[in-house]
Amino acid sequence: MPLTRPDREFAPAPDRIQRFASRYIGRRLTRHKALGAPDMDAVKRSRRWVIVWAALAGIVSGTLIGGAEWWMREILVDDWEALSLREQLPYWSGYLAFAGVVTLLEIGFLYWNSLRGVARMMHFCGLDYRHRSPQTPTVELTLQGAARVALEYPSPGSPVYGVDPHAYLRGWKLTLRALLYRLKVSLSSFLLRMVMRRLLGRLTLRGFVPFLVAPLYALWNAWIAARVTEDACLLALGPQRIDRLMPRIERAPEHIRRLLAQGVGEMIMRNQHPHPNLVLLLSRVLATLPGAPSDLTVAWPSALDEFARLDEGERAPLLENLTQAVLLSGGYRGARKRFLRQVFARCQTPLTHEFIAGQRCEMASNDQRGASA
C-alpha cells in the first residue's frame, strides 16, 4: 500500500467550517506574491497586531457589557437594591441578551482576526500558495493545520500512519477533553464575563466596574491570541525546517531512521495531538525506509533499548535530530520535556538547558539565513 499524503492522514474528513477557514486563508495568500523566504521581522509585527486587535476587542466588549450593567443599576432603575429578585428578572433577562449578543460579535471578530493574522504570518513565513496543485500535500497540510489553529480546534483524533494520538488518553479523560474544547470555543469568554461581574459586583466601587473588567477581558483575549499566533508561527516555519533536517536524516543508516520514526510516533502520542509538523516529518522519514511503509507500530520500550545500545557516533546526531523534531511541535515543556529527559537518560547523555537553547538558536539562525538568502 503506497504512503498516504500527510494532509489526508492529518485530516481525512475536515468539516465544513474547517474547509471554509482553509479556503479563506488560501484566498488571502493568493493576493500577494510569495516571498520565497521568511521575513521574521514582518512575522513578529503581524503577530503583535493580532494580539493588539484581540485586546482592543476585549476592551470594547468589556466596556459595553460592564457599562450596560452600570446603566441598568444606576440610571434605568431607581433604587435598584430595593427591587426583589422577581422584579429584577426582566432587567437581567435583557442584560444577559445584550451581553450574549456582544460576546457573539466579539467571538466572531476574534475568529476573523485570527484567520486574517494567521494568513499574514503564513505569507511572511514564505509559504507559496499561488502555484499550488494537487501534488503539493505540504502546503495543503499547512493550511489545514493553520485553519485548526485559528479556530482553536481540538485534535482530530484519527490515527496518523497507524499512530493513535489518543493512545494515552482513554475513557472519561477523552470525553472530558472533548467537552472542555467545545465549552472553551463557545462559552469561555461569556463565562469569564459572568464570573467577573459577580466578583466585582460585590465591590463598593460599583460605578467603576466597566473600567475594572475591560482590562481583564483584554488580557484574556491577548493571552489566547498570543497562544494562537505562537502555534501558527511554529506551524508556518515547520516545512522549511523539516526540509533542512531531511538531508542529514537521509544520510543516516536505516536503523537510525527507524529509531527516529519511533521517536516521532511516540511524541505524537505523548502530545495527544498529531501536530502537522510531526505528521509531515513522520511521512518524510517513512518515505526514506525500504518499501516506504504506510503504517508505523510504535514499540517504545524496545526503541529505548536500541537507543541505549547505540555508539556515540550514532547517538549524538540522532539525539539532535530528535530534539529538533520535538521542538517542531512546541516549546520545551510538559510532555515534550519529559519525553526528551527519558530519551537522554536512557542514552546516559546529559540534557542541559544550554543544549536546548543551542538547538533553538540553530533553528532560528537558519530561519534568518533563509530570509537573507
> CA angle 88-94-100, nearest 5°?
130
C-alpha cell at 71: 446603566
**Residue 163: its pLDDT value, please?**
92
**CATH 1.10.30: does it fit domain 238-372?**
no
The pTM score is 0.83
As a 3-state breakdown, the chain gives helix, strand, coil percent values, each rounded to 5, of 75, 0, 25
The neighbouring-strand residues paired with 163 are 160
Contact call for residues 18 and 11 (beta carbons, < 8 A): yes
Name the phi and psi angles at 329, rounded to 5: -105, 5
Looking at residue 347, the DSSP 8-state letter turns out to be T
Q: Which of 328, 317, 319 is nearest to 284 (CA)?
A: 328
CB neighbour list of residue 309: distance below 8 Å, 6 or more residues apart: none
Cell numbers 473600567: residue: 211
Query: Would you list the domain boundaries of the chain?
Result: 6-235, 238-372
Q: Which of 183, 187, 181, 179 is nearest to 99 (CA)?
A: 187
- Pick out the chain residues at pLDDT < 50: 134-135, 181-187, 203-205, 371-373
The neighbouring-strand residues paired with 160 are 163
The span from the CA of 89 to the CA of 232, in Å, is 44
Contact call for residues 204 and 287 (beta carbons, < 8 A): no
**How many beta carbons lie within 10 A of that of residue 15, not counting itself?**
10
Cell numbers 505562537: residue: 230
Q: Output the 3-class SS for 26-77.
A: HHHHCCCCCCCCCCHHHHHHHHHHHHHHHHHHHHHHHHHHHHHHHHHHHHHC
> CA angle 258-248-356, nearest 5°?
85
**Residue 95: its pLDDT value, please?**
85
C-alpha cell at 118: 494567521
**Residue 114: its pLDDT value, please?**
93
Type of residue found at 342? Q
**Residue 204: its pLDDT value, please?**
45
**Residue 35: its pLDDT value, please?**
75
**Residue 186: its pLDDT value, please?**
47
**Cβ-count burial of 81 within 10 angstroms (0-12 exposed, 13-18 middle, 19+ buried)?**
exposed
Count the alpha carbons within 13 Å of 79 in the hemisphere toward its beta carbon.
3
